Homo-oligomer: A and B are copies of this chain.
């Protein structure tokens, strides 16, 4: 029998809080309470929403829906989050039960909404018991579904097993007329070719012959300061597998999606259209980043300041204001994989022979981007492999603590493989979940002390506001800077170079034209 203290019975959250995995009995006792609450709340006219998966999207969606109210300000729903009873996942359930968001965010609203729902309204709880689905009027699927960029000329591989298991779990207990709303970004064709048949089989085994209500409606949730608002305030695209499903999805979404202006809900012809919309939306962004990367390399090679050039182009409103700036690479959970899900689904679920050549090229180019910064580091260090480099920034967006698929991963792995020593710093990330063996310096000063060079990999405000004198003092010797994110102004670059530093920058061809990459005379 497991006891508290066993490794296997503990679930450690990223902030260090330890949650003891409940025994099955404990979980059932806790769930019985939840089921009672759901019934009580239903008596008050509140429908029950179960959110499957308390990750980055699900945790915020659960908090937002629990805070949806009628015109009198009364909560509309009783919300139950469900996640797995594993060491890797249970802490999320524990957090929510404590009234804390299981996601670290700079948006204070998330913690407020979670606290209010759990402690004030008492209409948000979490469990590992799959019987929760039997209570639901609406089941929101926010489970993870991964894909990795394959090696050149290899097949894309997408593992649908976890996702399919999650859907099967729902089918085993769901009410006949519950709506299954898939928010997970899935390969095109998944709702019609995977979700529907799996639910049909499970329901038939239970003697339910009516087709399940299924819809796809993707989130546009963004990390950062508008995390919660990005769930409520962005227009939503959706489609049901049939008219009843579409109507149910529309009714549900319209209770909490409230953009400041414009149409809130965009209904497409089939869930495949909605699945594709999400994948296309992110692929567009990823391809536009890849496009700028090749112009970045060109600009550096011919002495052009691509930042001011693009600023001037952006002045052309309406057609060019979303053109991207040069940068360090692409991170996060969506842009790095969504073209793969489109290609894989089209080929394997829907029998298409069309190849998304440019989009897949874009993913490859983006994955290579941090290696361009690595080349600038090699150039700045005169080819010496055994240098000590401070990498400033390990998240994938400024002001955001999210480190998933951060491009710093690729740079740091490369530098270490090449024999360099790496110091890490990030003003808002204390530990790097994806590289737990690497320590993150507590202060910037500690990270910089005595290094041969500095890479600015994320344009956190702390780096943009760093005075050159303070940088020089922290390092304490002549060094190099590789500015991969337009952190260093021309004036600072000039000052550093005049002090004997070498400066290179991504997209900063004009620095090269001025000789900043050389030792000053």
Contact = CB atoms under 8 A, between A and B. Distances in A.
Nearest to A357: B294
Contacts of A225: none
B304 A266 contact: no
B237 A302 contact: no
Contact of A288 (B288, B301, B316, B510): B288
Contacts of A291: 283-284, 287, 358-359
Interface residues of A, number: 65
A234 interface: yes
Contact of A318 (B273, B298, B322): B322
Contacts of A322: 318-322
A340 to B, nearest CB: 13
Nearest to A318: B322
A273 B359 contact: no
Interface in A186-227: 188-189, 220
Interface in A302-324: 302-305, 308-313, 315-323
Contact of A268 (B220, B237, B287, B309): B309
B350 A294 contact: no
Interface string A235-263: 10100000000000000000000000011
A305 B358 contact: no
Given A269-B510, A319-B322, A313 B277 contact: yes
Contacts of A354: 294, 297-298, 301
A241 to B, nearest CB: 14
Nearest to A349: B302
A280 B295 contact: yes
A399 to B, nearest CB: 17
A272 B283 CA distance: 31
Contacts of A262: 315, 317
B359 A358 contact: no
Most chain B CB neighbours (cut-off 10 Å) among A220, A319, A346: A319
A188 B301 CA distance: 12
Given A290-B358, A304-B272, A309 B510 contact: no
Contact of A263 (B263, B315, B318): B315
Contacts of A302: 188-189, 272, 276, 346, 350, 352
B358 A277 contact: no
Interface string A339-351: 0001000100010
Most chain B CB neighbours (cut-off 10 Å) among A234, A302, A308, A321: A302
Given A284-B291, A322-B320, A272 B303 contact: yes
A415 to B, nearest CB: 24
Interface string A95-124: 000000000000000000000000000000
Contacts of A358: 287, 290-291, 294, 358, 361-362, 365
B268 A312 contact: yes
A302 B353 CA distance: 10
Contacts of A298: 276, 342, 346, 352, 354, 356
Nearest to A278: B313
A291 B291 CA distance: 11
A229 to B, nearest CB: 14
Contacts of A272: 302-304
B315 A269 contact: no
A57 interface: no
A356 B294 contact: yes
A188 B303 CA distance: 11
Nearest to A287: B291
A402 B248 CA distance: 49
Contacts of A449: none
Contact of A309 (B273, B303, B312, B316): B273
20 contacts: A235-B312, A235-B316, A237-B313, A262-B317, A269-B510, A270-B303, A273-B304, A276-B295, A276-B304, A277-B312, A280-B295, A281-B316, A283-B291, A284-B291, A290-B358, A295-B359, A297-B354, A298-B356, A302-B352, A318-B321
Given A272-B304, A294-B356, 8 more contacts: A188-B302, A266-B311, A268-B305, A268-B312, A276-B304, A280-B309, A280-B313, A290-B358
Interface of A: 188-189, 220, 234-235, 237, 262-263, 266, 268-270, 272-273, 276-277, 280-281, 283-285, 287-288, 290-291, 294-295, 297-299, 301-305, 308-313, 315-323, 342, 346, 350, 352-359, 361-362, 365, 510
